[in-house]
Amino acid sequence: MVNHETRIMNETQIDTIILAAYASKQKVTISLKDGNKISGFIHSDFDIDGFSLTSSYVWWKDIQFVQPNEEFYNDWSEVFKNLPDPFKKGS
């Protein structure tokens, strides 16, 4: 049996996960304990034991993989435009 643990994450950590996950092209819809849902990208090797997003505990089984939507790209387009290309060859 997996020993689940709670991970309290601040907004910066959440943003970091979203940005890191952008590179892996995987987006998830997270169902929070209060019934709200949050959509965003998540890294492909994210832990399978669940985690805590702010004060709401989320289990891996509540995460569904979905296709990226236009709204996400619109919201983050300015941020992405200003990020260096991690795959660019050194000059």
pLDDT digits (tens, 9 = 90+) for 14-72: 555 555 555 555 566 665 556 677 665 544 334 444 443 433 333 434 443 344 455 55
Contacts of 38 (CB under 8 A, 6+ apart): 29, 30, 32, 53
Residue 5 or 75, more confident:
75
Structure token digits, residue 38: 């949050």
Q: What is the pLDDT of residue 90?
A: 58
50 and 58 in contact (C-beta within 8 Å)? yes
To the nearest 10°, the Cα dihedral for 36, 15, 4, 31?
Answer: 20
Of the pLDDT bands very low, low, confident and very high (cuts 50, 70, 90), residue 2 is: very low
Domain ranges of the chain: 11-80
Q: What is the pTM of this model?
A: 0.25
Contact between 22 and 16 under an 8 Å Cβ cutoff? The reply is: no
pLDDT score for 66: 40
Tokens representing residue 7 in the block: 């991970």
